[in-house]
Amino acid sequence: MAIFTNQATLSYNNTTTTSNIVTGEIIEVLSAAKNAVDDEYRFGDTVTYVVSIVNTGTAAFNNLTITDDLGAYTASGVTRTPLTYVEDSLVYYANGVLQTGATAVAGPSLVISGINVPAGGNAVVIYNARVNEFAPLASGSTIVNEATISGAGLTTPITVSDTITIANAAQLSITKGLTPETVAENGQLTYTFTIQNTGNTPAVATDNVTVTDLFNPILENITVALNGAVLTEGPEYIYDETTGLFQTVASVITVPAATYTQDPVTGQWTIVPGVTVLTVTGTV
């Protein structure tokens, strides 16, 4: 609801007089909301945003514009934008029917034009944004994303926002190396498993991290080490020399959290993964 006032002026024979003040009221019939499909994010994630617009009036609103700041924030006096619009991801529905004609231009801000909302109806605008190198990654970080809807017929622009929070979780990956790559019969080789954690939370014993492998060729007389410390068969790993099946016992492997540093000049975040190294050495 918007209140307005108005007063007239009457001039004659170098004399001026004013009328009474009238007061009116404009009832706002357009409302909107903005939501992310998922309320948590990780670096590199694609976030889907949904802007819903409802028109309770008897006239359509045509050619509205949505301007999305893509989570812009200020660091070291410079504006950083932690989300990047995914090209060609825009879709838009009016009263549930897929529409054409809307355009999306990424700036750093994202400008979506050509949105029509039928009388007594609704429009739903959906688009994707990728979490980029300017997104904060430390535990408790958030991206506050704000969009403004403007256009003819609106008394004042409508502002809607949504907040997503960094996922507090380990995010593990594993790579396997072989040394040497060429080995003689009855020779010795070492498999090296490098486990990296790019998440902001360590992988702890209760996460039950395990490494399983079926060695081919089968290894004999194996020695297993975790970060250089020798493990004991039975309580810490299981190995079947008849099949080559190897598996660490749950709760043995832990992986530290990653560390994050933001460059004060560029504003970019650098990830240094937490690392745990498992080695298995044996004779082929």
Q: In the structure encoding, which two tokens stand for residue 91, read together? A: 């879709």
Identify the bridge partners of residue 66 per DSSP, sorted by sequence position: 112, 149
Using CA atoms, how far apart are residues 104 and 102, in angstroms rounded to an integer? 7
CATH of the domain at 217: 2.60.40
Is the residue at 47 inside a domain?
yes
Is the residue at 10 inside a domain?
no
Question: Where in the sequence is the domain holding 81, given as residue range(s)?
Answer: 26-165
Quick: pLDDT tens for 73-103: 988 788 999 999 999 999 999 999 999 999 9
Residue 47 and residue 127 in one domain? yes
From 249, 255, 227, 252, select the one nearest 171 (Cα to Cα): 255
As a whole number, mean pLDDT of residues 224-247 equals 97
Is the residue at 4 inside a domain?
no
Q: ∠ CA(202), CA(206), CA(211), 5° rounding? A: 80
What DSSP designation does 122 have?
E
Residue 266 and residue 219 in one domain? yes
Residue 149 and residue 177 in one domain? no
From 187, 162, 192, select the one nearest 177 (Cα to Cα): 192
For residue 136, cis peptide bond before it (omega within 30 degrees of 0): no
Q: In the structure encoding, which two tokens stand for residue 11, read together? A: 């001039």
Burial class (CB in 10 A: 0-12, 13-18, 19+), 41: buried
pLDDT of residue 249 exceeding 80: yes
Is the residue at 120 inside a domain?
yes
Residue 180 and residue 139 in one domain? no
Is the residue at 158 inside a domain?
yes
Is the residue at 88 inside a domain?
yes
The alpha-carbon radius of gyration of the chain (Å, integer) is 30
As a whole number, mean pLDDT of residues 183-197 equals 93
Range 71-80 burial, b when 16+ CB lie within 10 A, else e: bbbeeeeeeb
**How many domains does the structure of the chain reveal?**
2
Residue 134 and residue 212 in one domain? no
As a whole number, mean pLDDT of residues 247-273 equals 92
Domain boundary, last residue among 103, 130, 165: 165
Q: In the structure encoding, which two tokens stand for residue 59, read together? A: 């006239």
As a whole number, mean pLDDT of residues 17-34 equals 76
pLDDT value at position 77? 83
Residue 142 CA from chain centroid, whole number: 10
pLDDT of residue 42 exceeding 80: yes
Residue 30 and residue 158 in one domain? yes
Which segment of 9-13, 24-28, 186-190 scores lowest on mean pLDDT? 24-28
Domain boundary, last residue among 165, 195, 227: 165
Using CA atoms, how far apart are residues 198 and 258, in angstroms rounded to an integer? 5
Other beta carbons less than 10 A from residue 112's beta carbon? 23
Residue 121 and residue 70 in one domain? yes
Phi and psi angles of residue 20, each rounded to the nearest 5 degrees, phi first: -70, 165
As a whole number, mean pLDDT of residues 150-167 equals 94
In this predicted model, which residue has the larger pLDDT, 244 or 139?
244
Is the residue at 12 inside a domain?
no
Q: In the structure encoding, which two tokens stand for residue 34, read together? A: 């903005």
Is the residue at 17 inside a domain?
no
